[in-house]
Chains A and B, each alone.
Chain A
Amino acid sequence: MLPEIGQFSLILALSLAICQAVIPLVGAHRGNAAMMGVARTAATGQFLFVAVAFGCLTYAFLSDDFSVLYVANHSQLALPTLYKVSAVWGAHEGSLLLWIFLLAAWTLAVATFSSGLPVAFSARVIGVLGLLSIGFLLFAILTSNPFDRLVPAAVDGGDLNPLLQDPGLAIHPPLLYIGYVGFSVAFAFAIAAMISGDLDRTWAKWTRPWTTAAWLFLTLGIALGSWWAYYELGWGGWWFWDAVENASFMPWLIGTALIHSLAVTEKRGLFKSWTLLLAITAFSLSLLGTFLVRSGIIVSVHAFATDPTRGSFILSFLAIVVIGALVLYAWRAPSLDSEAGFGLLSRETFLLLNNVLLVVATALVLIGTLSPLVIEMATGGKISIGPPWFNVAFLVPTIPLVILLGMGMHTAWRTQKADTWWRLLRIPAIVALVLGVLIPLFVYGRVSILLVVGCAAAAWIVISSLIQPLRSLWREKGAAGITRSALGMCVAHFGMGLFVLGVTVVSAFGVESDRALQPGDSIEVAGYEFHMIGLENVQGPNFNAIEAEIEIREGEKFIATIRPQKRQYMVQKSPMTEAGIRAGLDKDLFVSLGDQLGNNTWSVRVQYKPLIRLIWLGAIFMALGGLIAISDRRYRSGKKVRETAPDTASDAAEATA
């Protein structure tokens, strides 16, 4: 009964989504207030019905209702409750429902917090979100109904993929999806602005917090996925340039460019059409990611089961969204002219470079991800692009990006005097260079050009992001101090610095060694002694495992005991490697069990990963920076940005400079 209610709710949600899309858009066009008023009501209604559907599916999992095909395929009686909940989005149909639910939730949030916006504008935004919702609801109802029945019902389910039975992965998809779907809000703002032809600095002010919010969730989602891959896939890498990882990374790169471009549009009224294009691209890349994951056309650990109808549906939807948006853009963008100018040495220039480099980085990832497909279609040859290519190619735009970042933060809008700029930055630059040599040389005992570049760039970013907050803390007590926006920027950039340091050090000094080990034996890796004390069988709720007890010592000093496992899941019969990790801010020591070589001897992979935690800690700081920026007070006032704000007044004079 409940699954049918769920399905009816989805259909009702679709009807409401149609009302939410059509009526407000027509109303905004005609200037009919009553019709525009439907937007909020329809969005609320749609959210409620989608929530009911989502609740029904969750209940089906919790109550082990194996008469529902999706539940029977992805759950099992002995599955722990947490994973019964996360199994809801553990495969295609349910994750699509999660996507729809989050889209409805973002729409509701926009409807709730848009009271400061002009009625026609918010009606258009909600209308566009309704259009997107129609597409996804149709997708679910026509090709991927999660409520399909299984007759006769199964006695027990097929169990959730053991890889997904992990707390990190329980929350990774929701976070990632909040980010993905969140870019639909920026997209809707862009479309609404193009329909009305009215794009000013106020528009950028409205769009910024929504975009930053989506971006910060995407950041957390990707970082969590990376962390999960590190400990759960069992082999200690943190990024594999896998097609699906890339699919989430591209919207992140473009989203980052969009955040920076929006800053210019808000502060200076520049880059308007560019910002629109980025907003369209960010969401289109989110859709492309969905297409890649769900069509099965790309080889990946993440790929869902292949189904051509689903692939062609998403591809058509993608085509409609992208072509529609670009046609509108081609029609409207030429009328968005900005009059302001800026000097060669100005924050605008640095943000422009930031955007160019981020777009180049995205293009590289896109080329690397899609070229195997293109080459196969053109020549029939089957190739793959390995991580070594990405690792090298990606450095080309990102090294200048991180160096320019530290400069751009301290450059004024419009135009910056070169001598004051140099006076401020020369000491941090020298300190960063010195640290860039000292960190690798004295802490880790080796230097190379790339290491100096990486460490100096990290130090450079960290130092320049500390200047402003520290100044406002110590020197200007009682003064207005730093705004939340600026503080958010500094915190996020500080996180970027930590990230760069982590990546540099772990890539250069990480040690990885495959060895044979049996109880009573010791091996030495990277100056640490790993002693296997014993092996024992342990029993989990739905798996059996062999657990090794390994003691780590550094010389005479005891460091930790870790217990890596090799699990055998009972229903899916698949083995899983559960790594033993001694985690620390300075280094991780990591042991995973390979295979049994005979008797009690096991092959093990032992790893020493210095500073790897900084990679995820950096991402947390980036997200935190986003959160601080959103909390800036100016986003809460509904006031329009005064078009005669001080910095635009003297533009004519500046333009000649």
Chain B
Amino acid sequence: MKPRQQRMLAVGLAALGIAIAAGLTLRAFQDNMNLFVEVSDVVAGNHPTERNFRIGGLVVGGSMQREEGSLLVSFEVTDTACTLPVQYTGVLPDLFREGQGIVAHGRLDDGGVFVADKILAKHDENYMAPEVADSLSKHQQDIQDAAVKGAVECGSSAS
């Protein structure tokens, strides 16, 4: 092959490879993007119904309950404005405890319970996933505003 043809071959193959990869990437992205939804939005009903999504917030103190003899655990997660019941079957991460910020991946069942298939609590005690930190600080701001203007109930502050 002449250098020109070589280059054309190289460019052609690269373009083909990248086009295939880009096509597959976009297609697969649709199914694998895990949207983060704030607890308040889930409570207000603004969440995907057809697929899994992630929620995050603090585990409500005293809300954790275990089923005798099984790995089923239920607890509540709050973004300080609203709370959502969560169920999970399996081994919880090391840093999971009440009051700790967590991220859960799963979907909402018909009874309004978030059934998680994965729970993440980060390894640094003081570390909080940026999504959770954003969500909490936003609602804390709402609560402070509410103290001035009057009571805000769960749901009314959901954006």
B-contacting residues of A (Cβ < 8 Å)?
161, 163, 233-234, 270, 274, 299, 301, 303, 337-344, 352-353, 356-357, 359-360, 363-364, 367-368, 371, 381-386, 388-389, 392-393, 396-397, 514-516, 572-577, 592, 594-595, 597-598, 601, 603-605, 655
Contacts and interface: CB of A to CB of B under 8 A. Distances in A.
A421 to B, nearest CB: 18
B2 interface: yes
A8 B90 CA distance: 54
A234 B24 contact: no
B131 interface: yes
A337 B2 CA distance: 12
B88 to A, nearest CB: 10
Contacts of A598: 66, 68
B146 interface: no
B124 interface: yes
A364 B94 contact: no
Q: Is the interface of A mostly helix, strand, loop or mixed?
A: mixed
9 contacts: A340-B3, A342-B1, A343-B1, A385-B29, A514-B71, A574-B125, A595-B91, A595-B96, A655-B3
Nearest to A364: B21
B94 A341 contact: no
Contact of B18 (A360, A381, A592): A360
B35 A382 contact: yes
Interface stretch (B9-17, B79-87, B137-145, B150-158): B9-17
A270 B32 CA distance: 40
Interface in B78-108: 89-92, 94-96
In the complex, the 8 A-B pairs of residues with the closest C-beta atoms, listed nearest first: A594-B91, A389-B32, A382-B36, A514-B90, A360-B17, A383-B33, A575-B94, A384-B34
B138 to A, nearest CB: 12
A389 B13 CA distance: 24
Given A234-B94, A574-B94, A389 B29 contact: yes
Contacts of B25: 364, 367-368, 393
B92 A595 contact: yes
B21 A603 contact: no
Contacts of A573: 125
B15 to A, nearest CB: 10
A296 to B, nearest CB: 8
Contacts of B1: 341-344, 655
Interface of B: 1-3, 5-6, 9-10, 13-14, 17-18, 20-21, 24-25, 28-29, 31-36, 54, 66, 68-71, 89-92, 94-96, 122-125, 127, 129-131, 134
Given A341-B1, A360-B20, A604-B91, 7 more contacts: A234-B94, A353-B13, A356-B17, A357-B17, A384-B34, A575-B95, A592-B91
A126 B32 CA distance: 46
A516 B94 contact: no
A396 B21 CA distance: 8
Contact of A299 (B29, B32, B129): B129
Contacts of B92: 594-595, 603
Contacts of A516: 69-71
A337 B4 CA distance: 11
A604 B124 CA distance: 22
A605 B91 contact: yes
B17 A384 contact: no
Given A353-B13, A516-B69, A594-B91, A363 B18 contact: yes
Nearest to A274: B10
B125 A371 contact: no
A379 B153 CA distance: 28
B20 to A, nearest CB: 7
Given A234-B94, A356-B14, A393-B25, A386 B125 contact: no
A577 B66 contact: no
B24 A338 contact: no
Contacts of B31: 389
A576 B34 CA distance: 28
A398 B5 CA distance: 26
Contacts of B36: 381-384
Nearest to A593: B91
Contact of B24 (A396, A575, A577): A396
B1 to A, nearest CB: 5
Given A337-B3, A344-B1, A388-B32, A396 B129 contact: no
B34 A383 contact: yes
A341 B130 contact: no
Contacts of A340: 3
Contact of A603 (B14, B71, B125): B71
B159 to A, nearest CB: 11
B16 to A, nearest CB: 9
A386 B32 contact: yes
A163 B125 CA distance: 12
Contacts of A383: 33-36
A550 to B, nearest CB: 15
Nearest to B67: A597
A333 B32 CA distance: 40
A341 B3 contact: yes
B71 A655 contact: no
B32 to A, nearest CB: 4
B94 A577 contact: yes
Contacts of B20: 360, 396
B123 to A, nearest CB: 5
A515 B71 contact: yes
A392 B30 CA distance: 13
Contacts of A381: 35-36
A416 B67 CA distance: 68
Contacts of A364: 21, 25
A371 B70 contact: no
Contacts of B54: 384
Contacts of B123: 161, 163, 233, 301, 574
A341 B6 contact: yes
A393 B24 contact: yes
A521 to B, nearest CB: 11
B122 A301 contact: yes
A514 B91 contact: yes
B95 to A, nearest CB: 7
